[in-house]
Amino acid sequence: MNLNGDLNIVWRREWARDFETPWSIFEKLSVANVVDRDSLLRTFGNETIKNMKGNLIGDHRRELMYLASFDEELIIKVLGYNLFEHNRSTVSLLLGPLSNFREKAAIWFSKQLRWCSECVRNGIHSWFHQFTLVEKCPYHGLDLINACPNCMEEIPFLLSNRRLGSPFTCKCGFILADFSTSRWREWEKCQEITDPYLKQWLSRDWQEEHINKWIFIPQYGSIELLTGATLRSTLLLDIKNAFEENMSSTLQEIFYDNKSTFLTVDRYIRNKFLKNHSHCIKQFREMRKGDEYEFPKICPYAFAYVFWRKTLLVCEFFYNRNTRGDNIEEPRNLDSTFQVVTKLIKEELQYLYIEFERLQLFGNVQELKWVLNKVTSQFSIDFFNKWLEIAEEWASKETAPSWDLIQKMKQSSFYEFAFKINRSDSSIEYHQLRKEALNKVQFNCPNCTISKRRSINHMRSFTPMTAAMNIFDNPSDENKRLMQCINLYVSKLRF
């Protein structure tokens, strides 16, 4: 490949496949012409790129969706087809059913490379792999890979050497695809889409369904959800008139209804799963213990419940600072800002609120609350299930998990769901993919005997506030040592 004179580039039109991204096109050019990605960018870049001095070219000039920094005429001449138009038509085809969403096109495609191990061995990376509503390779049915299996580093979806060394090879040396022996014969292989949901997505006449609208949270959606999810429930609604409720009263109703929904789920969990562990919860939340310095072993059921509640409500402390009431504070500016009790999912609930309001889908606040309460109740139960899964391990360590792990638990608790607005029969449908059953876990409770449960009632509460007051009244060495033990215990259970 001559970079200084006339172009002499090794390339065959047969190496480009339907729905292929520029990423694998450029990787194959790199293999065939023994050049790195910066050289390819300099060669195929527009005049702005060619006139740039040095090697510091920003990521925004390396993006592969719009190819804004590339020379369109030169790429058409070399590749034998219009890669720009190929990108536009493929992206447009995938996003056709999402025309009512306000998100920009780029939000539906991962910023990090996602690939199928079998496809990349054939030199192919598809736009289907980057499309965030696709979870498995539609050609091979394999889970998509989103980080190097060896070093676990993500690879940016750019024409960049940042995380890649040789073609199709991570910086750490892990080879995504090896063409050193087979050369390039695999590049001409055709692949057939086998995923029935993607086939339906690509073939359905979505214009016929334009009168209906799908509403879902983008990061928790999928093609399967919108083509094959199970209808869970339906509500008849009045969609003749748009939002006419007083905004102040609407926001207040949303907050109090969210609070009521949470408390209902809270009672359901305590009555169904924790009926025999109310003493354990009391001991853990009130930090009760005997005369010894060490705190008693934590019951896994109590651990799951207390931290489920703490994280869902985004409370600062796991222990009770107020022994009366439900520890749910009344927010400020309730009449002018969107507020919910379940603060962990406030962003998701507010997204739905804004979308339904923007599309003017409701005639009264009752219908909006039905939507928000559906999401709140389902998530809250599923999120508790995730806490049960890890409770035994972390309770035995007397340590709280990291916030990163909690965020992953949150994401996996949002089973894919969507609301379909049917204007033809004035109804709203709640669709959800099949979800896992709530775990029937069996833990060894340290307070399983009647005598141990009774002893909890005679224990004293040793929260940090209580200990601080004890030192204020009696600054003895014993009270100071006790305070140190309490602070250490609390610090291990903080995230």
Give the model's pLDDT for residue 247.
Answer: 65
Distance CA 259, CA 343 (A): 11
pLDDT digits (tens, 9 = 90+) for 77-136: 999 999 999 999 999 999 988 888 888 899 999 999 999 999 999 999 999 999 999 999
Q: What is the DSSP letter of 401?
A: P
DSSP character string of 419-478: EEEETTTTEEEEEE---PPPP------TT-SHHHHHHHHHSEE--HHHHHHHHHH---HH
Distance CA 262, CA 311 (A): 13
Give the model's pLDDT for residue 364.
Answer: 66
Over residues 13-19, the mean pLDDT reads: 94
* pLDDT range class, residue 3, cuts 50, 70, 90: very low
Distance CA 44, CA 30 (A): 12
CA geometry: angle 154, 157, 161, nearest 5 deg: 75
Give the model's pLDDT for residue 293.
Answer: 79
Distance CA 492, CA 303 (A): 13
Instruction: Say which amino acid occupies 323.
Output: T
Is pTM beyond 0.75 here?
yes
Instruction: Name the nearest CA neighbour of 41 among 205, 213, 160.
Output: 160
Distance CA 335, CA 338 (A): 8
- CB-CB contact of 382 with 415 (8 Å): yes
Over residues 337-353, the mean pLDDT reads: 95
Give the model's pLDDT for residue 134.
Answer: 96
- CB-CB contact of 136 with 142 (8 Å): yes
Question: How many CA atoms lie within 13 Å of 111's alpha carbon, on the beta-carbon side?
Answer: 3
| pLDDT at residue 244 is higher than 60 | no
Share of the chain above pLDDT 90, in %: 62
Q: How far is CA 366 from CA 181, 254, 375, 445, in A?
A: 65, 9, 15, 42
Give the model's pLDDT for residue 12.
Answer: 93
* 340 vs 364, higher pLDDT: 340
Instruction: Say which amino acid occupies 467.
Output: A
Average pLDDT across the chain, whole number? 88
